[in-house]
Amino acid sequence: MRTFLILMLALLGPAAFATPEGVLENPQPNDYASGIYLFSGWICDAETVQIDLDGAQLLDVAYGADRLDTVSTCGDADNGFGVLVNMANFEPGEHQATLYADGQQVAQSTFKTAERSTGEFAQGLEGCAISEGFPSDDSETILTWTTSIQGFQVSEERVHLHADNIDGLWNNPYWEVSIWTYRAGCGAASIFMHANLTDGLGGEDVMKMAGQLGEERTLLKSTANDGANREATLSIQSDNVIQINFTACGPIDIPSCDFTPAGGRAILKKVPNIMSAVTPAAP
């Protein structure tokens, strides 16, 4: 009898005790995990799936979700697993997740958490953030706070309007223009323009205008209380060239339109490495 059992173990042992095939996809090594985080991946075949966190918390994991991408490896699709965990309950720093299938270790990964001041579950919060130059240099991604996941979700991706390239001092023989921008929330950037214009003969006009930065052009309206109702469009020609076209100069005859070459059009070049001396101020 003893000999029979030894033979059976020798024949069945490699298959019976082989580590189940699977992958812990989230978290990846050294990922940051925050909010309501999904630990997930796939295992070809198991009765029970568990994840151990820091050797202190053993979680039973839902198993059997369809994963068509595992058919070629596992021969079937019902191999996905996942469990949601509130990461606000973890101390900031490095942690370890270990995946088990039927009591056998399948995979292990370290991850990091950051310190949070909002407690276990923040409510009543609103917020957004802009990631400029992501996912490409000419784009920006808008992130919006989502209470249900206790984190930020991508809410919009749009063309980056290069507002940072607008800020500074611009000029041509007739104009000296200070431009600065700011954002209120995650909307389009507001742009302010303070211009000194001269006719070359000693005459001078000071002009203040403001508007919203647009993808192709920006409509600027006068912010100075001098009786003028100026309107102009500003368009970005390149990183170092902008164009301003007046569309209205108001009922009072002012030199603003007269001073602009080419029938109310001004081409301005950026002055290198010099920022505007005008102190930025929100309206």
My answer on whether 102 and 170 are in the same domain is no
Verify that 86 and 56 share a domain, yes or no.
Answer: yes
Question: What confidence score (pLDDT) does residue 277 get?
Answer: 46
148 and 233: one domain?
no
Q: Are residues 140 and 174 in the same domain?
A: no
pLDDT in tens, 207-218: 788 887 776 667
In a domain, 244, yes or no: yes
Same domain membership, residue 152 and residue 65: no
Q: Is residue 78 part of a domain?
A: yes
Q: Are both 75 and 136 inside the same structural domain?
A: no
Q: Are residues 173 and 150 in the same domain?
A: no
pLDDT of 252 strictly over 70: no
Q: In this predicted model, what pLDDT tens digit does every residue of 51-84 receive, in sequence order?
A: 999 999 999 999 999 999 999 999 999 999 999 9
Is residue 242 domain-resident? yes
How many C-beta neighbours within 10 Å does residue 126 have? 8
Name the 3-class secondary structure at 166. Answer: helix
Judge if 171 and 195 occupy the same domain: yes
Q: What is the band of 202 on the pLDDT scale with cuts at 50, 70, 90? A: low
Supply the pLDDT for residue 205.
Answer: 66
Question: Counting beta carbons within 10 angstroms of the beta carbon of residue 179, is it exposed (0 to 12), middle (13 to 18) or buried (19 or more)?
Answer: buried
Query: pLDDT higher for 68 or 1?
Result: 68
Whether 84 and 59 share a structural domain: yes
Structural domain contains residue 10: no
| Res 274 pLDDT > 60 | no
Query: What pLDDT is attached to residue 238?
Result: 81
Residue 4 is predicted with a pLDDT of 45
Q: Find the helix or strand (DSSP H, E) in which 164 lies.
A: helix 163-166
- Is there a domain that residue 99 lies in? yes
Bridge partners (DSSP) of residue 198 are: 204
| 24 part of a folded domain | yes
Domain ranges, residue 34: 19-113
Strand segments, DSSP code E, in 126-239 are 128-132, 139-146, 151-159, 168-171, 175-182, 190-198, 204-212, 218-222, 230-238
Of residues 46, 96, 64, 262, the one with CA closest to residue 172? 262
Q: How many domains does the chain have?
A: 3
Give the predicted TM-score (pTM) of the model.
0.68
Pair (146, 194) in one structural domain? no
Cα 202 to Cα 27, 196, 259, 263, distances in angstroms: 68, 12, 12, 21
Average pLDDT, the chain: 81
Residue 213: what pLDDT?
76
| 265 CB-near residues (< 8 Å, 6+ apart) | 243, 244, 245, 246
Residues 89 and 167 both lie in one domain? no
* 177 plus 199 within the same structural domain: yes
| 7 domain residue, yes or no | no
Q: Per the domain annotation, does 189 fall within a domain? A: yes
Between 130 and 5, name the one with better pLDDT: 130
